[in-house]
A and B are shown apart, each in its own frame.
Chain A
């Protein structure tokens, strides 16, 4: 799985963009989006996903269940 940003909740504050260790977050049409191909759920980087931890609005950076769980390379 990857994380995704609920566009209707996003304040476009950009805090997540700088914290993402995978440079997976960018601004698209005024709000921020996560590239699911780059998102590793911060596994191997940090204990908790950085976008979730820094986001000022609860339940805005959430798991996107349409993608399979990220597998850290062996």
Chain B
């Protein structure tokens, strides 16, 4: 083992091998393959090292949810130790427990703190880029304080390099802030959907507080008060706070600008506005009343409106409370309780460090490539902005086949560069080598607002259909860095517009996909 670690430390310094190769070597040594493993991560700010104080950068640089840039490289996991909840939300239905559902509040099995600690070690040993452990439910972590804090205690003893975070509705937050600080939890996410109790009454039918079930405006007033006070208490203690808000068209969509101001003024670090997930088969109140979620452009417009105020998170995958892996992938089925209890786990800090050093090298190369490319665009003057979709498996590269992509990452290109603005889930288009026309239509609807789609490879048929839909398939940047390639493409796009070779057209809207993952 020691020999491998030494070699990997050296590798991190100057070995030209790719991350995948290093990963494969580690995996082979551990007797497991990485096939289908190296993938996407995602959740957070797009700001880089230069844009924030050093101590904050230290906290977010390898947190996939708090840093958009980190989400290409680092993975997170949630352990489902907190099943109980103290409020009811109209977008949540606790009766459902389906393995194919990918949304918060859903898990396949709940864990005891001891099982959770074992699972964290098993995952961290298999996935060296796993840097963050979150407790996000499936209920509310602070409605299960004993289980939540016991889990943190066990993990901080056995895996001290893993960052701890939790996600709460905020009702019980003020009474637990000191304990949160004691356990070195330095990232807390609060879901705040409103600061106006009248609006809150349309989202929350009741809360359970002081041994009573409280309904209506009064319930929303108490909840809001606790959320904002809890936020203030956390930021006073230097704990980073992310605010999640569910965008519900017609109920709180316009109001979220007010929420954004309220949380910004109380020191929140990042605001994550997520689309409502709502379908009748979920059995939620909103699903049954036919409340719709926002379109891709409605969501983006609101995120853009709030961005002047603070960092917006656009890479959230609204993951399950037992998700494992990079954001955008889910490897939880590899780590069921039965499997982890049979695993002989050895926590190897050195291998993890070696791997992560290699990741840092790749990241630096990516940033340098982007800056060099951006410098060549200096002097370009144009108001044109376009969106492009990217098929990627992670590491910030265009390295996924069009037909294998489960999602596309969306970048907005302008003369100021390439900016990550979101992602779109799609059905798997390629099913065992045979393209499926119906799911190609789904893909086109999901990226209909994009001018181009960047892929590592694409077949002839989908290429023609994309062109017909006005989306240019681009495979010339296969395996290259995303942002560098996008800037290069955009320069060329402007040239082509100038020369009259192509006409710049405003694209339409796109769908946000609802429902279960088929083939998760």
Contacts and interface: CB of A to CB of B under 8 A. Distances in A.
A54 B84 CA distance: 9
Given A54-B208, A56-B85, A56-B88, A11 B95 contact: yes
Contacts of A22: none
B213 A13 contact: no
Contacts of A17: 84
Contacts of B85: 13, 15, 56
Interface in B66-109: 83-86, 88, 94-95, 97
A26 interface: no
Interface in A32-66: 46-48, 50, 53-54, 56-57
B451 interface: no
Contacts of A18: 84, 144
B35 interface: no
Contact of B144 (A12, A14, A46, A50): A14
Contacts of B212: 46-48, 53
A57 B88 CA distance: 10
A54 B94 CA distance: 13
A15 B84 contact: yes
Interface in A1-26: 9, 11-15, 17-19
A54 B95 contact: no
B211 interface: yes
Nearest to B110: A12
Contacts of B83: 11-15
Contacts of A47: 212
B94 A19 contact: no
A53 B212 CA distance: 7
Contacts of A9: 95
Interface size class of A (residues with CB under 8 A): 10 to 19
Which of B88, B208, B211, B213 has most chain A Cβ within 10 Å?
B211
Contacts of A14: 83-84, 144
A54 B211 CA distance: 8
A46 B210 CA distance: 10
Contact of B97 (A11, A19, A46, A50): A11
Contacts of B84: 13-15, 17-18, 54
Which of A11, A18, A53, A56 has most chain B Cβ within 10 Å?
A56
Given A12-B110, A54-B86, A56-B88, A46 B211 contact: yes
B306 interface: no
A48 B88 CA distance: 18
Contact of A15 (B95, B139, B211): B139
A48 B206 CA distance: 15
Contacts of B86: 15, 54
A15 B143 contact: yes
Nearest to A60: B95
A8 to B, nearest CB: 10
A11 B139 CA distance: 11
Contacts of B213: 48, 53-54
Contacts of A12: 83, 110
B94 A50 contact: no
Which of A12, A13, A53 has most chain B Cβ within 10 Å?
A13
Given A15-B84, A15-B86, A15-B143, A57 B95 contact: yes
5 contacts: A13-B84, A13-B139, A15-B86, A17-B84, A56-B95
Interface of B: 83-86, 88, 94-95, 97, 110, 138-139, 143-144, 208, 211-213
Rank and list the top 6 A-B pairs by shortest CB-CB distance, nearest first. Answer: A15-B84, A53-B213, A13-B83, A56-B94, A11-B94, A54-B208
Given A15-B84, A56-B88, A57-B94, 7 more contacts: A11-B83, A14-B144, A19-B208, A46-B212, A54-B86, A56-B85, A56-B94
